[in-house]
Amino acid sequence: MKNRSTIFGIILLLLFSSSIPFVSIYEGSSNDFIYVDGDGTADYVRIQDAIDNASEGDTIFVYNGTYYENIIIDKPINLIGEDTNNTIIRGDGINNIVTINSDWIDISGFNICNTLLENSKEPIVCVSLNSSFSMIHNNILYNCSYGIYLNSSSNNKIYKNIIYKRGGICGIFLFHRCSNNSIFENMIYDFDYWGIYLWNNSNNNMIYDNNFISSHQTITIDNSNNNIIHNNTIDKSGHGVGMWLIAGKNNEISGNFIENITYGIVLDKASNYNIIKNNIIQNNMDGINIWQKSDNNIVMNNIVSNNRNDGIYIAESKENSVQLNNITNNGQGVNIIRKSIRNTIIANNFENNKVNALFHSSYLTTWDMNYWGQPRDTPYMIWGRIGIFNSISIIPWVQFDRNPAQEPYDMPFPEVSI
């Protein structure tokens, strides 16, 4: 039998060395230790048997090995694997691998993967979370359609996981009223659809310090409000969207690094009162797009550079504020079209764009105090077209920045960790 005093020390190290303070999971619980080893030398051979016989608050330690199980956790426990690479839970290819139906669960140190069968039932979830106040951390999750799937689950922490599947649906999916969750320091890659998706009133979540590679729509916020998306790195060569807000309100997108994707950030379908600040958005097809009645948003202190088409594009949206951005080396710095009204473009640096600014059938735009690449003694003219009686844009027109800045603004560089 393995040396349990040594293992006990490892468990304590795992519990207390995390950047997240360890709190006793369940007040008044037994807090016993239970051991699982597939070779028959521990308390149990199967993880599910240990769970079924555990009491609330117990810690189950699983030795290295491959465990062919689909487990269900229905009581507050700590479940700890000996080593992330070598403590493997392999699902049957038909059912979700780990299902959590209790609050106050802590899972760490596992390699959780799906057995790929030709007749596999889809979709399969590595970790299905119907829980609050739980922690999923320091795991490797792969070969599942969904890495982690939350349903009406709040106040959880998901961090330091590696999640991937080529052809998968979503790395982390927050489905229906998942609020006050913290998702951070994960690596998520190779999903065909979404890296992280927040849906249907999944509000007040924090998504930060994650690394995404090659997910088609990396972070999507759909009908969800008051979320903070901060200091994430998104890099993908090919078609996709870095961050996509759909009817999302009062969200903050700040301090992110987004490159090598089709659209850096998209505000869509009445995404109102959001803040986009302190991001670096570069080497994409388009930088920031504000579409379809997305109004009253603030875009400030971003570096928007080397995007092939538009640095900032506004269509059918009103009363957005674009201020204090470095807009450089894009095809078109700012492009405002299709009945966009009363937007303000103030105190930005426009330099080395093929076309600094233009408009089509947009009205009452305020251009003021922008730097246009060189000192100017006269108003700067922004050329565009307008239509008559809702016709296409056929009449050449001009708008003015009557107070152009004489030198570029010395703006604080966005604080982005790359």
Q: What CATH code is carried by the domain that includes residue 293?
A: 2.160.20.10
Residue 320 resides in a domain: yes
- What is the rounded CA–CA span in Å between residue 294 and residue 316? 8
Q: What tokens were used for 233?
A: 């790195």
The reply to whether 302 falls in a domain is yes
Structural domain includes residue 407: yes
Q: What is the pLDDT of residue 50?
A: 98
Question: Which bin fits 308, alpha (ψ -120 to 50), beta or left (φ > 0)?
Answer: alpha
Q: Are strands 380-386 and 395-401 parallel, antiparallel or unpaired?
A: antiparallel
Question: Integer distance in angstroms from the first to the last C-alpha of the chain?
Answer: 46
Tell me what pLDDT residue 8 has.
54
In-domain check, residue 138? no
Rg (CA), the chain: 25
Strand ranges, E, within 301-405: 303-305, 310-315, 321-323, 326-328, 332-337, 344-346, 349-351, 355-360, 366-368, 380-386, 395-401
Do residues 334 and 360 make contact, with C-beta atoms less than 8 angstroms apart? no
d(C-alpha 114, C-alpha 128), whole Å: 13
Measured distance CA(320)–CA(294) in Å, rounded: 8
Dig out the tokens for 356 from the structure: 């600094």
In a domain, residue 345? The reply is yes
CA–CA distance, 150 with 100 (Å, rounded to integer): 10
115 within domain boundaries: no
Please check whether residue 82 lies inside any domain of the structure.
no
Distance CA 299, CA 275 (A): 6
Q: Is residue 415 part of a domain?
A: yes
pLDDT value at position 16? 47
Range of the domain at 349: 259-418
- State the alpha helices, DSSP H only, in 4-158: 4-17, 47-53
Token pair, residue 62, equals 């699983």
pLDDT tens for the chain, residues 1 to 418:
566 655 555 555 555 445 444 444 555 467 899 999 999 999 999 999 999 999 999 999 999 999 999 999 999 999 999 999 999 999 999 999 999 999 999 999 999 999 876 556 678 999 999 999 999 999 999 999 999 999 999 999 999 999 999 889 999 999 999 999 999 999 999 998 999 999 999 999 999 999 999 888 899 999 999 999 999 999 975 679 999 999 999 999 999 999 999 999 999 999 999 999 999 999 999 999 999 999 999 999 999 999 999 999 999 999 999 999 999 999 999 999 999 999 999 999 999 999 999 999 999 999 999 999 999 989 999 999 998 755 566 899 999 999 999 999 998 766 655 4
Alpha-carbon distance 80 to 25, whole Å?
Answer: 14
| DSSP codes joined into one string, 69-98 | --EEE-S--EEEES-TTTEEEE--SSS-SE
How many structural domains is the chain composed of?
Answer: 1
pLDDT at 166: 84
Question: Looking at residue 9, what is its pLDDT?
Answer: 55
